[in-house]
Structures are given as C-alpha cells and as structure tokens.
Amino acid sequence: MPAILWDGAMLRHLFLGLSRSDRAWALARRSAALRPVLRRFVAGETMDEGLTAAAGLRAGGIDATLDLLGEATESEDGARRAARGYVEVLNGIFHRGLRSHVSLKLSQIGLDLSEDLAAELLGLICRTAAAVGTFVRVDMEDSGRLPPALRVFERVLRFGVRNVGIVLQAYLLRTPEDLQRYIRQGVSIRLCKGAYAESPTVAYARKADVDAAYGRLAEQLLLYGHAPAIATHDERLIRRSREFAASRGLAKDRFEFQFLYGIRRDLQERLVADGYRVRVYVPFGTHWYPYFMRRLAERPANVVFIARHLIGA
C-alpha cells in the first residue's frame, strides 16, 4: 500500500476539523492513554492545578496568564457560571500572591447569545480583576466572531475599564488596521499568529506570508504599543523582535514575550536569563479538548511528541 504523505497544511486542517467534533471529544475524554500527554499542554482540570502551575512558573521568574478553558457557551446559565469561575480564579490569584493575569474567550461568557450579556460579564470580570490588582486579556476566536467580539471589547472600554487588553492575530488581513486603532487608544495588545482555519479572503494562507505579517506588526507594536506582548514560539521572529528593540533603544522591560504552556521552556528560560519579561499562557479546566486539538494543528512536532508517548518510544 503506498504511503500517505501528510504535509503541515493537511495536518492543520485535520486537527482543526477534529477540534469541532463532539464524537472525537467524547472519545478523547475516555482515553486514559491521552491524559499524561495532555498534561504537557494543559495544567490540569481544576483551579488549584492552574494556580499551582502559575506559582511554579513564578518561582522561575516567569509570569502567567490563566485561562479557565471554555468556549461557545450555549446558555445564559453557562455563561454566568463561566464568569463566576473567573471571579474565583482572580480571588485565587490574590490569595496566593501571584502576579498572574487571566485570559478569556468572549464566546465562553455569552457572545454567541447576546453582546449585552458578554459585555455585562466581561465588565464584572474586569472590575474583579481591578479590585485584586490584575489584568484581563480578551482572546480572539475565529474571524466570524471577530466583529461582535470587538464591539463588546470596545463597549467595555467606553465604560472606562482600563485593565483589559486584546489579542490580535497576524494572519488576518484586517489586523494592521485593528492594531493601529488600538495603539492609538492605548490598549495593551497581545500579537499572535492565529490558530483557526480561515478563508484566504480574510487571512493569509501561506506560512511565509503570516511570518512576514507578524514581523511587520511586531515592530509597530514594539515602537508604539502600550505594554506590548510578543506571543510566538518562532525563534526567528523572537530574534527579529529582540534585534529591532535593541536597535531602537527600547528597554527590555517595556514589552514581554509570551508562550503557551508546555512549549519551548528552554527558550523561555534563556529569555529570562537575558533580562526579558516572559509570560506563559496557562490553560486549565475540563473543557480542554478544542484547545488541545488546536495546539496539535499549529505544530506537527506536537503530533510527533504525542505519537511517541502513546507507542512508548
């Protein structure tokens, strides 16, 4: 039988498709073999496990942003439960004395149901974060949710909330305009590449184009952004950002590099040793499956790691 050659694009579409499959999620939840591998990318299923992971990072000079996993909530009760969960996480951050932030997806707190509901709950979470002296990052999802997500985010800004920032995705064609608008407003921006399957009418399809866009946007963010976050594991893009910042005389503590939990810890430690600020996105919770599958879609090396573990190599 001829071998099937899987390229990066094929693997990406496969795992992004599986991330939306309820049947595959049910199978993954029952897989005992998958659990040890999952712990590389997800801190655990409980708040205590997430906070403990954040404390361990802080001991090594690395900060965390905690994400109580969940998205596409289908009821108002579910959205309000998610918001209460974030309030508990923020209280846990305070009681443990951590320098952690929180990150959330607006679809988790009701975006698909009502922009009013999502704005109400985002405002509640931001007020709680302000009370304990920390910050909320609004994650981005697929491009179909982007316009309502930005409307909710901007509504909260108009209410006077300032301890909230946004994530922008370099592969979207509209991002340069969004980046400039939020820079002018003094909003903290986390720049990532993007992890959803998108049409070429709204996003770059070629990796080289995404990388080029990321490099251009990162330089604008470093020059003009407020508390910019350069979120990538691509060592070439990190080197480019470092060299650009040094060439413009930007202080190392003016920005931070951000990573996903379980990926490139060696590089994180090198950056800390070189005097840079580093923050790791620490996901936890029972709704780990879609997040986990997107991590597999992003990097074929993650698939190889998991395959080797499952076969005992």
Asked about 190 being catalytic, the answer comes back as: yes
Distance CA 181, CA 187 (A): 9
The question of whether 274 is a catalytic residue gets the answer: no
Kindly compute the dihedral angle of the four CA atoms of residues 185, 281, 251, 160, in this order, to the nearest 10 degrees: 20
Active-site position among 63, 112, 139, 178:
139
Q: Which phi and psi (to 5°) does residue 283 adopt?
A: -90, 145
- 194, 172 contact by CB (below 8 A): yes
Per the residue annotation, which of 137, 190, 277, 279 is the catalytic one? 190
Q: Which residues contact 237 (CB under 8 A, 6 or more apart)?
A: 211, 214, 215, 218, 230
Buried b (16+ CB within 10 A) or exposed e, 138-168: bbbbbbebbebbbebbbbbbeeebeebbbbb
- For residues 295 and 18, what is the distance between their CA atoms, to the nearest angstrom? 12
DSSP classification of residue 31: -
Q: Which of 203, 178, 204 is nearest to 191 (CA)?
A: 178
Largest CA distance in the chain: 63
Catalytic residue IDs: 139, 190
